[in-house]
Copies of this chain bind each other. A is one copy, B any other.
Amino acid sequence: MNSTPPPSTQFCALCGTKVEHRIPLEDSRVRAVCPACGHIHYDNPKMVVGTLPVYQGKILLCQRAIEPGAGKWTLPAGFMECGESMMQGAWRETFEEACAQVRLIEPVYHMVDIPHIAQTHLFFRAELDTPEFGAGDETLQARLFAPDEIPWEDLVFRSSHSALRSWIADLERGVFPTRHVTLKPLVD
């Protein structure tokens, strides 16, 4: 999962001409517009999909092998790919990062808008039938944590932190309503 916003377009994706940054006719936002072929490049927010995988009351976290956050813990999640549904993406990311084949629980559980990096993170609750998991390419290790063992100080992504906080709070009541959160930029 990469938290860097996309670079702004300087050259036309279709013909390679240097673009102009201006508001197209009948639009209200600045876009990268090609003066040669007329193509308008739209930048839109990206979706990150992931899971809160649970086995016998414990939650599966991944210790990251790569930056950002190498050595820190997080929920399995990553960018949704073209051609898949949200649930397919969340399943795939859980398999790729934690080698776990989970059963996803509908509907989506925790939704995190992060407007300043143009991302929306969507987490599904999920269950493991057996304690089979491992470390994918981007993961040092995957490990089950009881609710009182979660390494809060060593979590890396704010969206994972937020999803885990919701899950802990909802565990006590035993109901898991869908939640929306919007994250603002951190200020020192």
List the interface of chain A (C-beta within 8 A of B). 5-7, 9-18, 26, 29, 39, 41-47, 79-88, 106-108, 111, 113, 115-116, 118, 120, 137, 177-180, 182
Tell me if A44 and B182 are in contact (CB < 8 A): no
Contact A81 B10, CB 8 Å, known A16-B18, A86-B113: no
User: Chain B residues near A83 (CB, 8 Å)?
Assistant: 115-116, 118
Q: Within the complex, which residue of B5, B29, B47, B116 is in contact with A44, where a contact is CB–CB below 8 Å?
A: B47
Given A9-B13, A11-B14, decide whether A44 and B46 contact each other with a Cβ distance below 8 A: yes
Interface SS of A by simple majority: loop
Q: Which of B11, B82, B120, B177 has a CB less than 8 Å from the CB of A11? A: B11
Taken together as a complex, chains A and B put the C-alpha atoms of A87 and B45 apart, in Å, by 13
A16-B18, A85-B115 known; A42-B79 Cβ under 8 A? yes
A169 to chain B minimum Cβ distance, whole angstroms, is: 16
Query: Per a CB cutoff under 8 Å, which of B13, B46, B177 touches A13?
Result: B13
The answer to whether B7 and A11 touch across the interface, beta carbons within 8 angstroms, is no
Residues of B within 8 A of A6 (CB): 42
Chain B residues positioned under 8 Å from A18 (CB to CB): 16
Residues of B within 8 A of A111 (CB): 86, 107-108
Chain B residues with CB under 8 Å of A9's CB are 13
Q: Which residues of B contact A14 (CB under 8 A)?
A: 7, 10-11
Minimum-distance CB pairs A-B, first 10:
A11-B16, A85-B113, A82-B118, A107-B178, A9-B13, A44-B46, A16-B16, A85-B182, A83-B115, A178-B178
